Chains A and B, each alone.
Chain A
């Protein structure tokens, strides 16, 4: 095959694999959140067991990217797509880990009498889920504007996380019997807030791929 056709074909394949991993990551997060909100320990268990597959595809993508770098010596847009994909897979794998962490909280909490969730937990979860879906969409469409909007939303996630923590701490001070469950709620909120952070990394990677701009840790397009 002609060299350029070969590279184009490999780059398409790379994008497909990143999207496969993205779909798996999104499913893990959505399931982990759903399981947490309704205390479904079976669903939580399935998230925990499913994580090996995300780790596996991350390894495959690392290998794929490494081979592309070595064999095609990419430049410019191709090079950025590869480096950006590596950043994306790394961050998606971590989102998978946070989904697992959240699932462990669910498994624990399902063995205790239910403790009502702070309504903000629902909002926080929704923001994190949307940030992930939008990061994936921004990647598919090369939409820099959408990617930049994800970074902005991280602030809302941070604020909600803080509010939840304050609220649960106050409740625990009033009622020490709930302390154990309360700590798990606080940790759960932290896992979800962490997902939002990781989504901003995904969004930054998208902006890097499209525009070549190094906006890491600043997140402005």
Chain B
């Protein structure tokens, strides 16, 4: 496994509150890593460390090391805009801009200063294809994104994230607001996307983690309890707390 993201003894604080403690975790390149654990255990917090989204929350602080391609994400000279271009994010609730489908996807490249119309149109098409949405929207690129179904909106948000060609994609419960068929489309998409990039997904569904991920990390009360190949973690966990959680004995 090639390591794309590496955390070493990462602590994270909201003010005085230590939300993450001593997280050491390797995230493999072109792999899907799932983060599971009871709510409030720090999954989203960890995810937001990976592109420094937490910086937007006042009074927060990270300690320890977090490396992207062996470079410290939290180093003083890191350009956060560049970091967030390399490490994209998709949220639980689809949040398209109230604009056209085309403009939603073109947004990232435009913000990055690209003016070439043809280039942008190509990026939009590519991204929509990569997000498995192109066939459904090619005839209505210039109608409002808000007219799409929930599942389509989520794939649009994925296309929007893909448009700036990220190396890592963070997904925070991306299917929890979707019906089973839309969920399956997202999961199929994840299998395709990992050929091109590295994916870290937070999910509260263990079945989903089992279906989509190569490795699964179990978080509990701000700590990483266990990480292993997904097939091993769900059949033969080493830690009692993991066993108890995945068999539904708590949480």
Known pairs A73-B207, A75-B206; A80 contacts B235 (CB<8 A): yes
Q: Render B222-234 as a binary contact track against A, CB cut-off 8 A, 1 for contact.
A: 0000000000001
Query: Contacts A75-B206, A76-B243, A77-B243; is A4 near B248 (CB within 8 Å)?
Result: yes
- When distances are taken between beta carbons in the complex, the residues of chain B under 8 Å from A176 are none
**B32: Cβ under 8 A from any A Cβ:** no
- Residues of A contacting B201 in the complex (Cβ-Cβ under 8 angstroms): none
In whole Å, how far is A5's beta carbon from the nearest beta carbon of chain B?
Answer: 10
Query: A212 in the interface, Cβ–Cβ < 8 Å?
Result: yes
On chain B, the residues within 8 Å of A76 by CB distance are: 234-237, 242-243, 246-247
Q: Which of B210, B235, B248, B249 has the most CB of A within 10 A?
A: B248
Residues of chain A within 8 A (CB-CB) of B236 are 76, 80, 212
A4 partner residues in chain B, CB cutoff 8 A: 247-249
A7 at the interface (CB under 8 A from B): yes
For residue A79, CB closer than 8 A to chain B, the reply is: yes
Mark contacts of A1-29 with chain B using CB atoms, 8 A cut-off: 1 yes-contact digit, 0 otherwise.
00110010000000000000000000000
Interchain residue pairs with CB less than 8 A apart (23): A3-B248, A4-B248, A7-B247, A7-B248, A73-B206, A73-B207, A75-B210, A75-B234, A75-B235, A75-B246, A76-B234, A76-B235, A76-B236, A76-B237, A76-B242, A76-B243, A76-B246, A76-B247, A77-B243, A78-B247, A79-B234, A80-B235, A212-B235
| Minimum C-beta distance from B241 to chain A (A) | 12
A-B interface, 9 closest residue pairs, ranked by CB to CB distance from nearest:
A212-B236, A75-B246, A4-B248, A76-B243, A75-B234, A78-B247, A76-B246, A76-B247, A76-B237
- B248 and A77 within 8 A (CB): no
Within 8 A of A (CB), among B62-121: none
Please tell me if the beta carbons of B235 and A79 are within 8 angstroms of each other in the complex.
Answer: yes
A74-B247, A75-B247 given; 6 more Cβ-contact pairs under 8 Å: A7-B248, A73-B206, A75-B234, A76-B235, A77-B243, A79-B235
Chain A residues with Cβ below 8 Å from B248 are: 3-4, 7
Q: Which of A3, A73, A74, A75 has the most CB of B within 10 A?
A: A75
Q: In this complex, what residue of A is CB-closest to B242?
A: A76
Minimum CB–CB distance from B69 to chain A (whole Å) comes to 34
Complex CA gap A40/B193 in Å reads: 70
Closest to B249 in A: A4
> Which positions 155-212 of chain A face chain B at CB distance < 8 Å?
212
The digit string for A47-90, where 1 denotes a CB below 8 A from any CB of B, is 00000000000000000000000000111111110000000000
Residues of B within 8 A of A77 (CB): 243, 247
Which of chain A's residues have a CB closer than 8 A to the CB of B247?
4, 7, 74-78
State in angstroms the CA–CA spacing of A74 and B249 once bound together: 12
Which residues of chain A in 72-116 are interfacial with respect to chain B, using CB atoms and an 8 Å cutoff? 73-80
Inter-chain contacts of A3 with B (CB < 8 A) = 248
Cα A80 to Cα B234 in complex, Å, equals 10
In the bound assembly, the distance between CA atoms of A4 and B250 in angstroms comes to: 8
Cβ contacts under 8 Å, B234 to chain A? 75-76, 79
Residues of A with C-beta under 8 A to B249: 4
Give chain A residues whose Cβ lies under 8 Å from the Cβ of B243.
Answer: 76-77
CB closest chain-B residue, reference A213: B236
Q: Could you tell me which residues of chain B, from 190 to 237, have a CB within 8 Å of some CB in chain A?
A: 206-207, 210, 234-237
CA A212 to CA B233, docked complex, whole Å? 11
Q: Whole-angstrom distance from the CB of A40 to the nearest CB of chain B?
A: 47
Closest CB-CB distance, A25 to chain B, in whole Å? 27
Question: Which B residues touch A75, using CB under 8 A?
Answer: 206, 210, 234-235, 246-247
